[in-house]
Structure 1
Amino acid sequence: MIRWRKGTVEGVRREWPGAIELDVAVGGDGACRALAYPALVGRPEPGDTVLLNTTALAMGLGTGGYAIVVAIPDRLPPDPDGPGHLVKARYTPLQATLLGADEQDSPHHEVLRDADSLAGLPVIVADLHSALPPILAGLLADRPGTRVVYVMPDGGALPAWFSMSIGQLKGAGALAATVTTGQAFGGDLEAVTVHTGLLAARLVLDAEVVVVAQGPGNLGTGTKWGFSGVSAGEAVNAAAVLSGRPVASLRVSEGDLRERHVGVSHHSLTAYGRVALARADVPVPELGGTFGTRVAADAAALGDRHALVPVGVEGLEDALRAAEKEWGVRMSTMGRRLDQDLPYFLTAAAAGRHAASLL
């Protein structure tokens, strides 16, 4: 279940909004890289004793390969004194109480109480968190200045603070705000469901486009249904029932060593072909060559349920490289960079390009 360790903070490696990366000495286990969320546990300082959950570190997880600071037992943070009645990460040892945009004490409650429509708002849905930067790159290359809000459900990381990309994208002005929904927390606004998260993005944060994708650290089991990305299909349904305009971004890879993810991933074919009951636009990138033909053929399986939209990718590689440099964000998916799996990033950028055309 949980590997518990006690350690001593040796130093701070780096920080980003909501998170601090540390070097921690752990007895006979040597030093390790640890992550703390100050809003939950307080700010660790060199010399502090910390209690750690080292499970993900011991498992060698890529995205989640940190020891996580659970507490600073000798220097507890002050009690919270703010409003809020939403409990997230409920009934876990680190459940947190937050102010929800949709709860009665919120200044936004009246706006959201009877809200029921997104009024055609484009909602781009993607499987992986790594799709967020390239989607924004494609969208903003064609329509600079578009106000984009990210709605993060709880299929991957629960704290939005885990994502370095969110802070970098907001700092660069590419992303306006984040809404965390379900058990996820740490966004600019909190919401109980993806539905109220979408409504808050539109009615409170004035989004012109919304991107919905799970946080870092998706979970998959190599089975047809056992992956956290099925939530992409549910997000399509949520956007559609609220009179939004769902845009289903495909997960495509040429560099993945797992055959089930080469071409159009089985995650997209299941989430959009089986879980999504509402109709969405499915941007199909015109990649060219044998691989482009394969992607188009794979996507054709979704044509009975969704509107397949061919999207040219001219100029998108330049837009991706420019965005990476300008925003300071790392374009990476499953450890693969732009040059190692360019079709993945072009496909996400094509979804952004298509959304720009709807405005």
Structure 2
Amino acid sequence: MIRIRLGLVVEILKESPELQIVLININNAKYKAISFPKMIGKLVNNEEVLVNTTAFTLNLGTGGYHFIMGKLSNPNCDTVTKGHIMKLRYTPEQIKVLSVEEEDSPYHNEIKNFQSLNKAPVLIGFLHSMLIPTIAGIKALNPNLKISYIMTDGGALPMAFSHTVAFLNKLKWLNGTVTTGNSYGGQLEAINIYSGLAAAYEVLKADIIIVIMGPGVVGTGTSLGTTALEVGQIINAVHSLEGNPILIPRINFNESRKRHIGVSHHVLTVLNKIALAKTTVVIPKIDNKDKANYVNDQLKCHEIFDKHSIIYEDGKLGLKYLEKHNINVKTMGQDLSQARTFFETCCAAGTYTAKLK
């Protein structure tokens, strides 16, 4: 069940055309809340709003925010946009977009005539926090490569929710974004991962494509009950479109959960059971021999060497690039000093891929 409460906007904390962060009053207590202006219109102070408090109340990973569902005062919102494709279909929040596939789209012919990715490198990751360090690994080797990001619907659905993408756009590290499935708000909208890949390649003319879900992977502690398994399906999609799938594995040794120590069990499940096509898996050159051996033993135990191509690459170049630009990165609440192997892995995958161009 949805937990819905009435609130009053008391302060606009931060805003852009895509997202507003506001302070609301609910029963004489103040909370931060997020609103998406393109869905419900722009908020102003002293407006009554309908608020979804479900995830916050359950203490889930939404960053401590409630989400505003609509305005009770002046609720009319009619942003004039082209398009006939609905995302979040048949829900009260369904939103109209102009997808690249539609006949009204200026890119309809590019998608209609698309044939192949022609071995274009496609980096595929498990967590949204992989995006910045992976791009740092690319930029450290070749800052001129054009990088496009495809956000799937495995995590957050609105791209506006991603502070990471906003930050990367500010740095001008991305040459375009695509939202696929029921995710929305990218520079380009696509119905599925296949047309999303075609859009990144044909429309955005990316040298390197990165595909990672938005913030907020869903997990249950089981090997199959996670949205991270989409990675295997994306590998298959890239292969079927004649691209070059390259995996960014999730590797961390500062983990309280045994299933995520070293190579995460999600990675091993994807490579052993979900990915039907062969992919390149980039492993960082880990200085600590015990940790390096632990990772190799995991890969051997799950027969990953037999099914996929394992590449060892130095990730330190990307780490230095992050430090040079004073960029602080975090994953699951851990910074570079706490999860060095995680970020080194992402940088290594980026650097390896940059070498292909």
* Residues 134-149 of structure 1: pairs in structure 2 closer than 5 A: 134-149=133-148
Measure, in 2, the Cα distance between the counterparts of 1:125 and 1:249. Answer: 6
Deviation sequence 1:284-310 (CA, Å, 0-9, x none)? 111121112212332343111111011
For residue 334 of structure 2, what is the aligned residue in structure 1? 336
Deviations 1:156-204 (A, max 9, x none): 1111111011011011011121100011101000001101000000100
> Could you tell me how far apart the structure 2 residues matched to 1:316 and 1:200 are?
28
Where does residue 67 of structure 1 map in the other structure? 66
Specify whether residues 324 and 244 from structure 1 end up closer, same or farther in structure 2 by C-alpha distance, changes over 3 A only. farther
* Residue aligning to 1:349: 347
Structure 2 equivalent of residue 288 of structure 1: 287
Give the distance between the partners of 1:307 and 1:261, measured in 2 at CA.
Answer: 22
Q: How does 1:92-241 map to 2 (within 5 A)?
A: 92-241=91-240
User: 5+ unaligned residues in a row in structure 2: which ranges?
Assistant: none
- State the distance in 2 between where 1:45 and 1:16 align: 13
**Contact between 1:56 and 1:64, CA under 8 Å: does it hold in 2?**
no
Q: Alpha-carbon deviations, 1:257-301, whole Å to 9, x = none?
A: 101001000111111221111111111111121112212332343
Q: Which moved more, 1:111-120 or 1:308-317?
A: 308-317
Kindly, what percent of the aligned residue pairs are identical? 36
- Contact 1:249/1:348, CA 8 A, preserved across alignment: yes
Which residue of structure 1 lines up, in the alignment, with residue 297 of structure 2? Answer: 297
SS in 1 for 2:75: coil
Cα drift, residue 64 of structure 1 = 4.8
Q: Secondary structure at 1:213's aligned position in 2?
A: strand
Q: Partners of 1:346 and 1:63 in 2: how far apart? A: 26
Q: What RMSD in Å do the two structures reach over aligned CA positions?
A: 1.3
3-state SS of paired residue (1:182): coil
- Partner Cα distance (1:343, 1:133) in 2: 15
Whole-Å Cα distance in 2 between the matches of residues 314 and 58 of structure 1?
Answer: 40
- 1:145 and 1:15 mapped to 2: Cα distance? 31
For the residues of structure 1 that align with 2:154 and 2:229, how far apart are their CA atoms?
9
Letter matched to residue 23 of structure 2: D
CA distance in 1, matches of 2:247, 2:338: 23
SS at match of 2:77: coil
AA matched with 1:315? L
For residue 35 of structure 1, give the secondary structure of its aligned residue in structure 2: strand
Aligned-partner Cα distance in 2 for 1:131–1:173: 17
Deviates more, 1:153-162 or 1:306-315: 306-315
Which shifted more, 274-283 or 14-23? 14-23
Q: 2:313 aligns with which of 306, 311, 314?
A: 311
**C-alpha separation in 1, matches of 2:50 and 2:69:** 5
Unaligned runs of 5+ in 1: none
Counterpart residue identity of residue 309, structure 1 = I
Distance across 2 between alignment mates of 1:68 and 1:117: 40
TM-aligned CA distance change 1:75 to 1:180, over 3 Å: same
Q: Is the contact between residue 248 and residue 272 of structure 1 (CA under 8 Å) also seen in structure 2? A: no
The answer on whether the counterparts of 2:133 and 2:318 sit within 8 Å (CA) in structure 1 is: no
Alignment check: 8 A CA contact 2:141 2:354 kept: yes
How far did residue 59 of structure 1 move? 1.0
| TM-score w.r.t. length of structure 2 | 0.96
Equivalent-residue separation in structure 1 for 2:115 and 2:233 (angstroms) = 17
Amino acid at match of 2:246: V
Contact 1:254/1:341, CA 8 A, preserved across alignment: yes
Residues 55 and 62 of structure 2 are in contact (CA less than 8 Å); yes or no, is this contact kept in structure 1? no
Q: 1:17 and 1:315 mapped to 2: Cα distance?
A: 36
Aligned position for 1:13: 13
2:22 aligns with 22
Runs of 4+ in 1 over 4 A off after TM superposition: none
> Is the Cα–Cα contact under 8 Å of residues 315 and 349 in structure 2 kept in the other structure?
no
